[in-house]
Structure 1
Amino acid sequence: MRKAKATQKKTPAAGIKRRKKGFEMTSGLLQSRIRQATETRGFSEMRLLTHWVEIVGESTASMARPIKVSYAKGGFGATLVLLTTGSYAPMLQAELPKIQDRVNAVYGYSAISRIHITQTAPTGFSEGRVQFEHVKEKPRSQPSPKVLAEAHELSAGAQDENLRRALEKLASSFLHRADNTLKKVDR
């Protein structure tokens, strides 16, 4: 009786796809779910959301962001809805033909026939302020010569040159971070 159960092959439940063996990139695993989420808002091209700054330019992206693409029942062109604050609306209105051309270039055809501007108050989102600017990374501060000398001292015992350089880099990073933390505490 036990042998009969052991020889039966277990089949995966219907509708469950088996993954490949080994590791997979996270982007590949999440691609279908991200596509579903963006398509519910009408974005069949995710590049419109992810590369908004490159598509419309830095100045326009700092004034507005896309929130929805709605398609007409007849299928003749879609409407892109942009979110902006009241003070930027007149400037954005002047940019509409340029925005429409650039967005249609992303789609590859005249997908967007109208652009609707939705205004919001400068405060009111969960963060407290509407932020259209894309925050650029601050340049990292460099370790002081004292920290570099101490890191060199700590890694001097390593025989292999590549290992010594890696240990020196690790030590300088760690010591620099600890030095910055102490400076913040002293303030």
Structure 2
Amino acid sequence: MRGFEPAGKLLRQRVRAAGESRGFAVSRLLTHWSEVVGEEIAAQTRPVKIGYSKGGFGATLTLLTTGAAAPMMQMQLPQIREKVNACYGYNAISRISLTQTAPIGFAEGQAQFTPAPKAAPKAPDPQVIAAAARTAEGCKDAGLKSALETLAQNVLTRSAERAAQKKG
């Protein structure tokens, strides 16, 4: 081992292998899709594969989109093609094919392109807040006291959740 390594460096080979199996010679197209084509287009499309013709130049990029967004994406195909070719650095993509899917379906056909928003954290129990305040009561430093209260709230909340799980 050479010590600590960035996670991206550890995953680079696996992402490259998965991308190359779908025809993506440049894995950046998959990993940075929203940066390549823009947030609006990335929210409605996802690259699925790149198909190369046997003797010709240029490849066909297949994009997955919902049926409702397909007409708008069809009109933007020239701009998408320019942006993707800019990512490759040369005119690699000569054609883009749209594949429409329903909003629900099996693995590849699912149309959820953006991650679901994170749930808002629950407000802590007032009894837990009071117990945490009593725990950090003797501390004089305001920053340390706040950190201790937060730590105590986390510990007390987790222990209460574990106790509830054991009962249920």
TM-score if structure 1 supplies the norm length?
0.67
Q: 1:27 to 1:84 in 2, by over 3 A?
A: same
**3-state DSSP class of the match of 2:47?**
strand
Distance in 2 (alpha carbons) for counterparts of 1:128 and 1:77 = 26
1:91 aligns with 2:72: yes
**3-state DSSP class of the match of 1:60?**
helix
- Partner in structure 1 of residue 166 of structure 2: none
1:105 aligns with 2:86: yes
Paired letter, 1:77? G
Given candidates 57, 62, 78, the residue that maps to 2:43 is 62
**What is the root-mean-square deviation in Å for CA atoms of aligned residues?**
3.4
Alignment of 1:147-158 (within 5 A): 148-157=129-138
Unaligned runs of 5+ in 1: 1-19, 182-187
- Partner in structure 2 of residue 125 of structure 1: 106
- Partner in structure 2 of residue 169 of structure 1: 150
Contact 2:62 2:96 in 1 (8 A): yes
**3-state DSSP class of the match of 1:66?**
strand
C-alpha displacement at 1:65, in angstroms?
0.8
User: Which structure: larger Rg?
Assistant: 1
Distance in 2 (alpha carbons) for counterparts of 1:34 and 1:150 = 47
- Partner in structure 1 of residue 118 of structure 2: 137
TM-score if structure 2 supplies the norm length?
0.73
Q: 1:28 to 1:91 in 2, by over 3 A?
A: same
**3-state DSSP class of the match of 1:70?**
strand
Unaligned runs of 5+ in 2: 163-168
Identity of aligned residues (%): 52
Q: 1:139 to 1:32 in 2, by over 3 A?
A: same
Paired letter, 1:35? R
